[in-house]
Amino acid sequence: MKKQIALISSLAVLATVGGVATSAVTAMTPMTAQAKHIGPSLSTAGSIKTSSTSMSGTATKGSKIEVKANNKKVIAKTTASKKTGKWTVKIAKQSKSTRLYVYAINPKTKLSFYNIVHVNQAAKSAVKTSTSKKTSTKTTTKKNTSKSTVKTSAVNVQTPTGTWKSNTSKGAYQVWSFSQKTGLNEKQYQKGKKTKTLLSYATYKVSPKTTSFWKMTQKAKGAKKATTFYVKFTSNKKFHLVNSKGTAVKTTYNTFTKTK
């Protein structure tokens, strides 16, 4: 089964990002009807706990759902509701740092889309034991108290699907659009008017290193090789272009904010 996902990158940015991508890709004209569909839609949680025994989400109605531990062994299967697209599967408790690959598969075309769900350690409770103090006149007893601390990540991005606008430089900026149906499209604007199409209908792939640090590759139609670059999310609606070590790179357009 081949994974087809969405991917990210701008020709103009890639050409200027040092250490992120060395190969340049020429701008593409809009793709023909052959690339109108990349795979079914899928929505899942970004992470679960080691104590979790089920998973749920939504997908294209009627899609087949498969869950693989570390993208190897299938541990659960189900089918998304034909009316609502909702689905739920039971799973065995997973060990910390396991990556669960959740696939949504079109039963007719066999095209698929997947999300990676990270397994995090369940929070442990810190319990203070009771103590008693006795004197000749009175006894004071302290009640048991318990505290539970749950750490949550500020970033929980499942997919880059949507429209992202770059920072502005001398009135110019770029807009990147990620779609599971039309792929990656990039355009250049000057004071609100489109001046250039940088990339059209390119396929893309996301390989998360952590929940906020992603390795991404994109391949334009007709290109022999894919280009690789890295992004780092500082919130669910903002990311920066970085190198493989997570350090910000010097380029004209290096900060992107989600607009829709």
The domain over range 11-36+157-258 is classified in CATH as 2.40.128: yes
Q: How far apart are CA 15 and CA 144, in angstroms?
A: 62
* Beta strand 42-44 pairing with 86-90: unpaired
Q: How far apart are CA 207 and CA 216, in angstroms?
A: 6
* 81-110 per-position pLDDT tens digit: 999 999 999 999 999 989 999 999 999 998
Q: In sequence order, which residues have a C-beta less than 8 Å from that of residue 202 and are 6 or more positions away? A: 7, 9, 25, 28, 183, 184, 185, 218, 219, 220, 221
Please tell me the pTM assigned to this model.
0.45
Residue 118: what are its φ and ψ, rounded to 5°?
A: -90, 140
Structure tokens belonging to residue 76: 């659960």
CB neighbours of residue 25 within 10 Å: 23
Q: Are 113 and 89 in contact (CB under 8 A)?
A: no
Burial degree of 147 (CB within 10 A; 0-12, 13-18, 19+): exposed
Structure tokens belonging to residue 16: 């200027």
Pick the CATH number of 42-120 from 3.40.980.20, 3.90.1010.10, 3.30.930.10, 2.60.40.10: 2.60.40.10
Q: How far apart are CA 219 and CA 235, in angstroms?
A: 26
Along the 260 residues of the chain, how does pLDDT read in single tens digits? Answer: 444 444 334 433 333 344 433 333 333 334 333 444 467 888 888 889 999 999 999 999 999 999 999 988 999 999 999 999 999 999 999 999 899 999 999 999 988 888 999 999 987 755 454 444 554 545 555 554 444 333 434 788 888 889 999 999 889 999 999 988 888 889 999 988 999 988 888 888 888 888 888 898 988 888 888 889 899 999 989 999 999 888 888 888 889 999 98
Identity at 70, one-letter amino acid code: N
Residue 169 is given by DSSP the state: B
Domain boundaries, the chain: 11-36+157-258, 42-120
